[in-house]
Amino acid sequence: MHVLVFATNNPHKAREIEQILGPNFQVKTLKDIGCLEDIEETEPTLEGNALLKARYVKEKYGYDCFSEDTGLEVAALGGEPGVHTARYAGPGRDADDNIHLLLKNLESESDRSARFRTIIALISDRQETLLEGICEGSIATEKHGTGGFGYDPVFIPSGYDATFAELGEDVKNTISHRARATAKLLETIRNTAF
């Protein structure tokens, strides 16, 4: 059993990655290693924020680890919310508020194409590696489904007629941005003395 530290406090993400990695891996979160402070994402890119979190854990706690940052990039909005995806509707707002603002900003747009982009930063054996996973799709005109989290009720992956929230975790974990980046992570750690 390999133990990996995942620099996140988001239990949804930790569960998704643990499921994708399979039974040979146990994923520990920040809480599990006693890191209770909030690591502020202050960089202007997904890559920068992913590295910032992984470096923080390595420097302060000594663990080899990985972290990830995900953004929703909407073509008609020039790639926004992108790095601002988590706090799109402002600080202290929740996923519903973010979705509400996104649908409002797309009201008059005919091009609803969008993609989720995940960057995973891995620090292992003092080496830093960046891995990318992309899931192309479009934004629905209203919310559908109850599964998943975040923007899942309005994201329709390409090739499907339903949102991530309707498709359920088995389908999502096969085709998602995080699944694709995690597949690369798995490949990399198989080839590394983690």
Structure tokens at 43: 């960089």
Taking CB under 6 A as the rule, does residue 29 contact ligand IMP?
no
CB of 65 to ligand IMP, least distance (A): 15
* Beta carbons within 10 angstroms of residue 83's beta carbon: 20
- Confirm whether 69 is a catalytic residue: yes
- Candidates 21-29, 53-61, 105-113, 142-150; binding stretch for ligand IMP (CB under 6 A): 142-150
Out of 29, 67, 70, 163, the residue judged to bind ligand IMP by CB under 6 A:
70
CA distances from 41 to 48, 85, 132 (A): 9, 12, 18
- Which parts of 97-136 interact with ligand IMP (CB under 6 A)? 98
Per DSSP, 58 falls in state H
Q: Which of 10, 105, 129, 188 binds ligand IMP (CB under 6 A)?
A: 10
Report the alpha-carbon distance of residue 78 to residue 73 in Å, rounded: 8
Please tell me which residue in 69, 97, 152, 170 is annotated as part of the active site. Answer: 69
Beta strands in the chain (DSSP E): 2-6, 25-28, 65-74, 113-124, 127-139, 155-157
List contacts with ligand IMP (CB under 6 A): 10, 69-70, 85-86, 95, 98, 148-152, 164, 176, 178
Active site residues: 69
